[in-house]
Amino acid sequence: MNGQEERDLVLRLKVNGWVIMLALSLASLVYLPSDMTAGVIIGGLLVTINLHLLQRAVNRALTPGSRITPKNILPKFYLCFLATAAILFLMISQHLVHELGLLLGLSVFLWNLLILVIHLAGKIVYKTLMKEAV
């Protein structure tokens, strides 16, 4: 893969993540109770924001001439992970959101990856079939 293809994949992950989160949030708003909807929204925001922060940190570390090294990413990653864990603990322990809704919101990233893998596999199969047909 070249740099442009990688940037396109990252952009697709970001856009798909927001679209999936918005779709799940709107569906939960219509079909689920409000505490479950809050869980979906908070879980989706957590996972989408974490993806953005991780991508930004990795980009900074891999930029040529950057003073940030890959070793410096790990502490930031762990701090982000601990902050996310603390938010999740607070939400669940104080019964601010429904646990199932939170889990559904956190699954945004998994749905995002599944859709991307299916799309990329479809492209590979299509290219293979086109080469064989010619």
pTM comes to: 0.80
- For position 113, what pLDDT does the model report? 92
Instruction: Annotate 23-46 with DSSP letters as a single string.
Output: HHHHHHHHHS-HHHHHHHHHHHHH
Q: Residue 71's domain spans which residues?
A: 3-133
**Of how many residues is the chain composed?**
134
- For position 35, what pLDDT does the model report? 86
- For position 134, what pLDDT does the model report? 67
In the block, which residue shows the tokens 């199969």? Answer: 125
Provide the domain count of the chain.
1
Please, what is the average pLDDT of the chain? 86
- For position 131, what pLDDT does the model report? 83
Residues of the chain with pLDDT under 70: 1-2, 68-70, 134
